[in-house]
Structure 1
């Protein structure tokens, strides 16, 4: 476990508790690097987001990515503080469904 990342995850969880929010989803390259202790999820250097996201809840911390990038991220970039949620490359809805389930978010329709 990376101690720097452990401290950051604890800070995020404290903020979740204070704000009564179920989870924090991090997409930007700068925030991804901060939350992971310097990992990079960037493929295109000019993009604002990369091939993975961070999702932190009160209980868990995940890296959300597709099946193409998962092994490379695990082997080269990510500290062991995170679980991997791997979804099919062509199924972005699977990622969204996982986030909703993990954070118990209800979608209300008018």
Structure 2
């Protein structure tokens, strides 16, 4: 049985990550066609995906949500308040991101109800 070297494994994993991000990018472009011609989109998404890994994301749902938010609000996770929240100890970055989305959705719903 052949075994992959660490370098081969890293190359394979990097290729898999790029394919994952590209698949999500295709979904984003389908949902937001106006992003299709933006040459920066893939770069933004790859950087955001790398950040999800740094934050310890393990589930596809929050990862995809993170990438969608990055597509429509580039660099959102770099804003000081959001970066501090995601890095705050006590919960994983993934859990904190999901909390952020819940609060955002709740506020949007309240705004709709007020109008």
Q: TM (normalized to structure 2)?
A: 0.30
Q: Greater helix percent: which structure?
A: 2
Between 1 and 2, higher relative CO (CA 8 Å, sep ≥ 6) is seen in 1
Structure ID, larger Rg: 2
Q: Greater strand percent: which structure?
A: 1
Q: TM (normalized to structure 1)?
A: 0.31
